[in-house]
Chains A and B, each alone.
Chain A
């Protein structure tokens, strides 16, 4: 059993100072770059983007787009987590199924997201496209990690459960699931980022009606650069927000498994 020794945490005032410094530094770089380029239709400054974003916030279409995109991406992500976990359980149990499924999921992992979007665009409705693409991008990640976690389950603990006649349900709950957690939790955090990027890309290419992606596509079409930037800012905010929520949730889960999740 190993312990990591880390440097003592910085005091709060230092952390606030560093945070503020970073928050000022990058917009300042952006501002300087925009001033240097001096072509707002190519690179709008942070001020113009903020004004546009504020204007968009006052429209129903903005909130509708945010809500729908969020819903689609989260639905695709959640479906991938559930399916990936179930699939991992089955492929660990049945070797034949693993032999069939594993190459397919490896191929999915290697195929560029744009290829999937273009292919899926032909086969399914554009409303479904972002969710399906997010699902396809996250599924192999979750499956691979959960399968690895299941295979790494300590055989000695499983032996203990067997001798003590712990029921299969309790063995899963108390031994197998906690063993999978250190593999599943990071995969979920990484997967959420994948889901957002691929989901919005699918909205842009698939022109999904009323979505953030469609608004971005139209802004690009009419060279409305401040608007394109404003939608991008929204994506970043939503992505960070949902990641923070997920991290909070996972921390609560991790508290139940202090030793395995570190």
Chain B
């Protein structure tokens, strides 16, 4: 089983964002994507999530894999409490409460998303993804709006699951990448050809 982008070409307009991109990842571990804004990091995640189809090439994700996403926006259902938001996608009833405890939001489980700060909403979105017990965790800038202590806490949570699932993280700062002890794929526009993760 492998997770791969194979000779993927993708564009939103006429100019290709990704051209013949090939990248293969193992089925367990944490990998970061890093590069300047607009270089295609989020697009690589969207392709993996099945939200975009490549214009040519193929994206391989094993059949039946559960995908837990954290998008750039928190995407919490505004009409549901934090707990309900997490429980709706959780693998089992207990998973939601456990995940909220892990991200430090247990006391806010009955709050609605509009009552949360930006950082809390970010953590709620992360709890939702983790509670799914996914095989593939896709995190697009998960540390945005979090202070250093919370970054550390979230990184620990992600590190705990590194042998159970594949985690692909869009992370801008070297500090975040070091906290995750992850190999990083550096993207430089135009993103083209074979890509490989490297240890910083």
B-binding residues in A (CB < 8 A): 1, 156-157, 159-160, 162-166, 170, 174-175, 178, 181, 256-260
Contacts and interface: CB of A to CB of B under 8 A. Distances in A.
B50 A258 contact: no
Interface string B85-120: 000110000000000000000000000111000000
Contact of A162 (B50, B78, B113, B132): B50
11 contacts: A1-B114, A160-B69, A163-B49, A163-B50, A163-B51, A163-B138, A165-B67, A166-B88, A166-B89, A257-B79, A258-B79
A160 B71 contact: yes
B152 to A, nearest CB: 27
B75 A156 contact: yes
B75 A160 contact: yes
B51 A164 contact: no
Interface of B: 49-51, 66-69, 71, 73, 75, 77-80, 88-89, 112-114, 132, 138
B105 to A, nearest CB: 18
B51 A174 contact: no
Contacts of B49: 163
Contacts of B50: 162-163
Contacts of B71: 156, 159-160
B68 A164 contact: yes
A174 B80 contact: yes
Contact of B114 (A160, A178, A259): A259
A160 B68 CA distance: 9
Contacts, number: 48
A178 B77 CA distance: 9
Contact of B79 (A162, A165, A178): A178
Nearest to B45: A163
Contacts of A175: 77
A157 B77 contact: yes
Given A157-B75, A174-B88, A259 B132 contact: no
A184 to B, nearest CB: 14
Contacts of A162: 50-51
A256 B79 CA distance: 7
A70 to B, nearest CB: 33
A164 B67 contact: yes
A164 B79 contact: no
Given A1-B114, A165-B66, 14 more contacts: A156-B71, A156-B75, A157-B77, A160-B71, A160-B75, A162-B50, A164-B69, A170-B88, A175-B77, A181-B79, A257-B79, A258-B112, A259-B79, A260-B78
A40 B66 CA distance: 78
Contacts of A178: 77, 79
A157 B114 CA distance: 16
Contacts of B80: 174
A169 to B, nearest CB: 12
A156, A157, A160, A174 interface centre (most CB from chain B within 10 Å): A160
Contacts of B75: 156-157, 159-160
